[in-house]
Chains A and B, each alone.
Chain A
Amino acid sequence: MTLVELNHVSKSFSKGDETITPLDDVSLQIDAGEFVSLMGPSGTGKSTLLNLVSGIDRPDSGTIHVDGTEITGLSRSKLADWRAANLGYIFQTHNLIPVLTAYENVELPTLLLPLSSAQRRDRVQLALEAVGLVDRAEHYPRQLSGGQEQRVGIARAIVAHPKVVVADEPTGSLDTETSQQIQVLLQRLNQELNITLLMVTHDADVAAIASRQLLLDHGRFLESNGAPQSDNNKASLSS
């Protein structure tokens, strides 16, 4: 079943006199439960695509549907509600709230949902268990290592049981060993909890853990081996 669907999406930016078009008439489908990695050189529109799927940026043209909802037509407030209920975002730099403990950071998205305090507590507990950080629940971000911070970030992204989780270079700021731990964790989340994941990465080894790997080059999708996709960049790109 198609969960995320981009149809003829384009996005341009003005930089001085120059117009940059990181995404040009891009179409893409991601099925529920898929783990898709998105690779490509810097400036090729990977993060732009991630931001469009997340609803924190809007395309110039084209439509984006997630689980049947066309998010491109939603207002800023409606998009916020939609993100709270349907989207988990894993940042490269963790972006935890420094004044809140690990528990409170993970709890934050659940405060935006109609849940009882007992339900919230259970969800936070489960999310922290999933990332193996129950014993660090009362620690503040400054008391955690980079890897632990990223695991808290992952717990925060999955605690609301989102339909899709996007990850922007989730291992980009971590050492090799910690990076591998996070890769294993992301794989487990996809396989054991059936979470749909869209991950942007520079690292081919990290991209390899995904069930489908896409390469984005100058606003167009290529297969992971570098060959262009057929049918004017509109292919479903299923693995």
Chain B
Amino acid sequence: MTTYVLKTLLRHRVRTMLTVSGAAVAMFVYCFVGSVQEGLARLTTGSDADRSLIVFQENRFCPTSSRLPEDYSDKIMDVAGVRQVMPIQVWTNNCRASLDIVVFNGAAPDQIQSSRPVELTAGDWQTFQTRRDAAIVGRNVARRRGLAVGDQFSIGDVSVYVAGVFRSTVPSEENLIYTSLRFLQYTRGLDAAGLVTQHEVLLNEDADPDRVASQIDQVLRAGPVATTTRRKGAFQASTLSDLVDLIGFAHWLGYACVALVLSLVATTTVMSVQDRIKEYAVLQTIGVRPLRALRLVLAESMILCLVGGVTGTLLAGAVLGLGGFAIGAEGATIAFRPSLSLILSGTIVSLLVGIVAGIAPAIQAATVPIVDALRQA
């Protein structure tokens, strides 16, 4: 009976190919939307987002407008529950939402090496620590911009030597370029000697993030610049608030893709069954049970959906993996990265849609009035 199902699908090659292609395209988009949703979730949850704080200038949003004294780090270190403070100078080529945002984070090289979740895949730490204009580049940026170790990379007034390329367990990190703090502070146009954009605070295991954040703002209230301290996840969600709304809306696009596959495969299967209603009557005349006829139709729609859906899902996985795509605003970025859960979700959705799409035509085939159908020309 499997031969029958497969040969039936092959008989109408064009129709099968069009349906499979449609399902593949829709599931490709579904997975792409899913990867954006996952990227946002990763950015705003997880240990990096929950167990570290960002101290930013009060009522400021774009990194270029936040200017905090670098020595705030000493005062922050004195707050109970703080394990480490990393003053960071941020420079970005675009404060607005962009698909090709370049974000430089300037910090002490030894702190970057010890506290950031990065691992060099090319280049070496020594060059990064000793050469003034050295930078280590996240592999997504390197892929997008075609950068390799030894390249000189310039954007705006910033010009760096690529000393290394890194990967990270936190996908959004792979969209950053790290330089030394001093280099970025003295970059022409920034005029930020002694100033930084933000302080990143790592907490002790038992520290309550919200209580520590409040204490930091309290301590710094006496300083020249007031601050707002939030969990890193909340800070990034707030920074990307416009995009978050858009991304939240985009999940409807994902549902629309699923509905598209459903209607496409259901239409094809209904047409296929109606064209062959006499064939199903013949099958039942020779002894095929109605339930088996139902399963034959379900198998057809499931194969169509699975072949198309899995193709689209794998293609999306490959494109996301190779493309290194990211969207960002105001120095924060969301990485689009393929994941096993995304691939599994795409496959399971394809399977379920295949079953649902086949139910109506399957019932039609199973309950066909045999005598009437046999009379058809």
Contact A156 B286, CB 8 Å, known A56-B370, A97-B279, A100-B4:
yes
Selected from B3, B11, B285, the residue in CB contact (under 8 A) with A56 is: B285
Does B189 reach chain A (CB closer than 8 Å)?
no
CA of A65 to CA of B283, assembled, Å: 23
Inter-chain contact B7/A100, CB cutoff 8 Å: yes
Contact residues, B5-30 vs A (CB, 8 A) = 7-8, 10-11
Does A121 reach chain B (CB closer than 8 Å)?
no
Does B226 reach chain A (CB closer than 8 Å)?
no
Chain B contacts for A203, CB-based, 8 A: none
CA of A108 to CA of B286, assembled, Å: 8
Contact residues, B277-298 vs A (CB, 8 A) = 278-279, 282-291
Inter-chain contact B282/A76, CB cutoff 8 Å: no
Inter-chain contact A98/B290, CB cutoff 8 Å: no
Does A85 reach chain B (CB closer than 8 Å)?
yes
Inter-chain contact A77/B289, CB cutoff 8 Å: yes
| Mask of A80-107 contacts with B, CB within 8 angstroms, 1/0 | 1111110101010001011110001000
Inter-chain contact A112/B285, CB cutoff 8 Å: no
Contact A99 B288, CB 8 Å, known A56-B370, A57-B371, A104-B3:
no
Tell me the number of A-to-B contacts counted with CB atoms below 8 Å. 63
Inter-chain contact A81/B287, CB cutoff 8 Å: yes
Rounded to whole Å, the gap between the CB of B12 and the closest CB of chain A is: 10
Rounded to whole Å, the gap between the CB of A219 and the closest CB of chain B is: 17
Inter-chain contact A99/B291, CB cutoff 8 Å: no
CA of A54 to CA of B284, assembled, Å: 11
Contact A83 B286, CB 8 Å, known A57-B370, A95-B278:
yes
Does A40 reach chain B (CB closer than 8 Å)?
no
Contact residues, B155-172 vs A (CB, 8 A) = none
Does B1 reach chain A (CB closer than 8 Å)?
yes
CA of A193 to CA of B8, assembled, Å: 34
Chain B interface size band reads 20 to 34
Specify which of A51, A84, A99 lies most central, judged by the most chain B CB atoms within 10 Å of its CB. Answer: A99
Does B299 reach chain A (CB closer than 8 Å)?
no
CA of A96 to CA of B374, assembled, Å: 12
Chain B contacts for A76, CB-based, 8 A: 290
Chain B contacts for A104, CB-based, 8 A: 3-4
Inter-chain contact B290/A80, CB cutoff 8 Å: yes
Chain A contacts for B278, CB-based, 8 A: 95
Contact A81 B371, CB 8 Å, known A91-B282, A99-B7, A100-B4:
no
Chain A contacts for B8, CB-based, 8 A: 99
| Mask of B358-377 contacts with A, CB within 8 angstroms, 1/0 | 00000000000011001000
Name the CB-closest residue of B to A75: B290
CA of A81 to CA of B11, assembled, Å: 28
Does A109 reach chain B (CB closer than 8 Å)?
yes
Rounded to whole Å, the gap between the CB of B373 and the closest CB of chain A is: 10
| Mask of A219-239 contacts with B, CB within 8 angstroms, 1/0 | 000000000000000000000
Rounded to whole Å, the gap between the CB of B131 and the closest CB of chain A is: 69
CA of A56 to CA of B289, assembled, Å: 12
Chain B contacts for A156, CB-based, 8 A: 286
Rounded to whole Å, the gap between the CB of A91 and the closest CB of chain B is: 7
Inter-chain contact A80/B284, CB cutoff 8 Å: yes
Rounded to whole Å, the gap between the CB of B141 and the closest CB of chain A is: 53
Inter-chain contact A80/B371, CB cutoff 8 Å: no
Rounded to whole Å, the gap between the CB of A92 and the closest CB of chain B is: 10
Chain B contacts for A97, CB-based, 8 A: 4, 279, 282-283
Chain B contacts for A204, CB-based, 8 A: none
Rounded to whole Å, the gap between the CB of A164 and the closest CB of chain B is: 13
CA of A89 to CA of B288, assembled, Å: 13
Rank and list the top 6 A-B pairs by shortest CB-CB distance, nearest first.
A84-B287, A99-B7, A56-B370, A80-B289, A83-B287, A95-B282
Given A77-B291, A82-B287: 16 more A-B contacts, CB < 8 Å: A56-B284, A77-B290, A80-B289, A83-B285, A84-B287, A95-B278, A95-B279, A97-B282, A97-B283, A99-B8, A99-B10, A100-B7, A108-B4, A109-B286, A112-B287, A160-B287
Q: Can you report 18 A-B residue pairs in the complex whose CB atoms are below 8 A from each other?
A: A56-B370, A56-B371, A77-B290, A77-B291, A81-B287, A83-B286, A84-B286, A84-B287, A89-B286, A95-B282, A99-B4, A99-B8, A99-B11, A104-B4, A108-B286, A109-B287, A111-B1, A112-B287
